[in-house]
Structure 1
Amino acid sequence: MKVADVMTRGVIGVSPQTTVAEAVNLMLSSRISGLPVLDDGKLVGIVTEGDLIRRAELGTERRVSWWRSLLMTPGKEAADYVLSHGAKVDDVMTTDVDTVTPDTDLVDAVDIMNRRAIKRLPVVEDDRLVGIMSRADLLRALAAKFARQQSGEMTDTEIREAVRAELGRHPWGRDGFIEVHVRAGVVELEGTIYDERTRAAARVAAEAVPGVKSVTDHLVWIEPMSGVVMMPPDMDGPYSR
């Protein structure tokens, strides 16, 4: 999937000269936690809830211990003062903004969000803001995916092939030791695994295929070092070779 498949278009933005009070009210009335800052249509920054939680009005300015203040330069103290007292968005916005394009792969966009611990990414094209992708957009896309899966109609043969294909995409499932059988939408997993964690992964892989009603686990786990065999959940007790 691409960013264009999930992003929100028609984004609400503010200018650098918008007051902080106006930006706060806009975020509250629109039920959003961040606003792109635009100057003649060009993205110049972003202002978020995180930029506004240390404010003089709330008495939440950053406190500096006396010993740390000895190491703090006047310039750094002045910059913190602007952030907690500034009246315009230009004073408080974040200017080091990560962006993506509509054609960016979704996995790459999510990697950026995780690495930078951010909740949203502005989407730009030809230096113009065309949308924004947030965590909420990803959740909406996920919900839509679930809805499509639940409404899907697949034959037992199609389900079996889909499960086998998904297992084959991963090192833990492509060794050929897991057999897949399907009857009336019920997937039965049989065979041998050599790492107990593979059991849950195989079940999750099967459950994710549209049309699967339930998964029955008949997998036998053999511990490679000791030779101890753990029987499937519907059978009791381990035994040794």
Structure 2
Amino acid sequence: MKAQDIMSRRVITVRRDSALKEAIATMLEHGISGLPVTDENGALVGMLTEGDLLRRSELGTERRRPRWLEFLVGPGKLAAEYTHAHGRTVADAMSESLHYATPDMPLQQVVEMMEKQRIKRVPVLEDGRLVGIITRANLLRALALAAPSLPAVSPSDEQIRQQLETELAASAWAPRSMLNVAVQDGEVHLYGTILDGREREALCVAARNIPGVTAVHDHLIWCEPTSGMVVEAPPEPDQPDQPAPGQRGA
């Protein structure tokens, strides 16, 4: 999947010379938390987001530091912060650092950019022209559409076991050498030893995601490597004791 597959093509922008009050009104009117900023020629020059408006003199939230720290910070940075907190135009408050995608950029790279730069939206540029924007809401909509549907034919227990085996073989975290899996009537039983408590939920998630699985039963034992402490699997709620099915190696 690429950026152009999920981006919003209707992009609401604001001019850098616009009054900050007008930009805030636009954000509130459209229910958005950020705006791409353009110059008089329509070229992208920055972003204005809710985060840029946290430190404002009107709110009494401008940044304050002890005198000794102000000396270390220097007058240049202090002057820039003053402009950011007291300015009345979009240019005064916006972030000038730009991180953007191209229409054919793989979605994986877009998400990595959002994580690394800690941003919630990425403008999409084609030949320097703003053609779209990707927000976290776009990612959620794409995820909803990509959610797997139930198969028309229920797979056999052996097919379920094989699919789970394939999934775990492709996962570097999976403790395959210490794991046994049994499948009976669509219900997956997980046996074995794990060395990290987080592996328990990951294994259950992997099993639940296999088409045809109706239930997952956790019989795993967690052995903490440092202390040697052993933690049994948590009891299943409202489940009577039943003979376990035969165990098979995954």
**What TM-score do you get using the length of structure 2 for normalisation?**
0.76
Partner in structure 2 of residue 193 of structure 1: 193
Greater CA deviation, 161-170 or 104-113?
Answer: 104-113
Amino acid at match of 1:125: E
Alignment partners' CA distance in 1, 2:51 and 2:230: 53
Contact 2:194 2:200 in 1 (8 A): no
Q: How many residue pairs get matched?
A: 232
Q: CA RMSD in A?
A: 3.1
Residue in 2 that maps onto 1:238: none
Number of the residue aligned with 1:69: 70
Higher mean C-alpha deviation, range 65-74 or range 104-113: 65-74
Alpha carbons 1:18, 1:89 under 8 Å: kept: yes
Q: Give, in whole Å, the separation in 2 of the partners of 1:78 and 1:225.
A: 52
Q: CA deviation at 1:45?
A: 0.6
Are 2:221 and 2:231, in contact at CA under 8 Å, matched by a contact in 1?
Answer: yes
String of CA shifts for 1:42-62, please: whole Å, max 9, x gaps: 221100011112222222222
Alignment of 1:145-160 (within 5 A): 145-146=146-147, 148-149=148-149, 151-157=150-156, 158-160=159-161
On the 8 A contact 1:187/1:206 being kept in 2, the answer is yes
CA distance, structure 1, for counterparts of residue 178 and residue 125 of structure 2: 47
Q: Which residue of 1 aligns with 2:23?
A: 23
Q: Name the structure 2 match of 1:134.
A: 135
Could you tell me the percent identity over the aligned residues?
Answer: 45
1:152 and 1:11 map into 2 onto residues whose CA distance is 38
How far is the alpha carbon of 1:121 from its aligned partner? 1.5
- Once the two structures are TM-superposed, the CA of residue 227 in structure 1 deviates from its matched residue by 9.6
2:138 maps to a residue whose letter is D
CA deviations on 1:62-93 (whole Å, 9 max, x unpaired) are: 22322233345443333222212222212211
Deviations 1:208-231 (A, max 9, x none): 234422112345667889999877
Q: Which runs of 5+ in 2 are unaligned?
A: 236-240, 242-250
More divergent stretch after superposition (53-62 vs 32-41): 53-62
Is 1:14 the counterpart of 2:14 in the alignment? yes
Gaps of 5+ in 1: 236-241
Is the contact between residue 189 and residue 219 of structure 1 (CA under 8 Å) also seen in structure 2? yes
The answer on whether the counterparts of 2:190 and 2:220 sit within 8 Å (CA) in structure 1 is: yes
For structure 1, which segment, 173-182 or 129-138, has the greater mean C-alpha deviation from structure 2 after superposition? 173-182
Secondary structure at the aligned position of 1:57 is classed as helix
> Per the alignment, do residues 77 and 172 of structure 1 end up closer, same or farther by CA in structure 2, a change over 3 Å counting?
closer
